[in-house]
């Protein structure tokens, strides 16, 4: 199994904020639709894993993290637990540990409601 690493700071923005498209240019819905879901779909097909790297962003709002990681579960309901293998969340810098825990919690909460 190979990994595809997506850095939010490098691939999207150092200043992500907002939940929906109407909220602002670097919103969660846009990241999920344009960056994350295409990679996830590829991973679900190939059996590879997408690793989302949180480092390098100025800070994360709870809405952004929930809409990205809870939203990916809601957008791919049919994938169910396969999403757990297809997606990993990484924070190399300890400063992002709390954001990583939040992101994982939103992902797991959405899976449990799925």
Partner 1 sequence: MAAEYDRIGRTRTLTPAAIDIEKWDSEVYRRLHQLGFFRLLGFNDQGLKAVLPDPESTSAEYLTPMFCGNDTDLTESGDVLLDLFVAVGGDAASRVQLLGAVADAIENVKGHAYEGMRHPGIPQLWWMSGSADPDTRKLTLSIYDQGVTIPVTLPNKWSKDVLTSVIRSFFDSGLAITDPRMDGYAVKAAMTVSKTSSGLEERGKGLAKIRDAVTDCAGGRLRVISRRGNYLFENGVETVECLPTPLHGTYIGIEATFSEGGGNE
Q: How far apart are CA 58 and CA 43, in angstroms?
A: 28
Range in contact with partner 1 (rule: CB under 8 A) among 3-11, 34-42, 51-59, 80-88? 51-59
Q: How far apart are CA 66 and CA 72, in angstroms?
A: 9
Among 46, 47, 84, 113, binds partner 1 (CB under 8 A): 113
> Judged by CB under 8 A, does residue 41 bind partner 1?
no
Residues that bind partner 1 (CB under 8 A): 13-19, 23-27, 57-64, 66-67, 70, 93-99, 106, 109-110, 113
């Amino acid at each position: 199994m190979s990994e595809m690493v997506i850095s939010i700071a490098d691939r999207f923005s150092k200043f992500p904020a907002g939940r929906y498209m109407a909220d602002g240019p670097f919103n969660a819905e846009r990241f999920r639709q344009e960056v994350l879901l295409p990679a996830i779909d590829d991973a679900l097909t190939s059996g590879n894993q997408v690793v989302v790297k949180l480092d390098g962003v100025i800070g994360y709002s709870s809405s952004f993290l929930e809409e990205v990681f809870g939203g990916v579960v809601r957008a791919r309901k049919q994938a169910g637990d396969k999403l757990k293998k297809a997606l990993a969340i990484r924070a190399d810098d300890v400063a992002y540990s709390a954001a990583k825990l939040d992101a994982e919690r939103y992902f797991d909460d959405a899976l449990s409601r799925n």
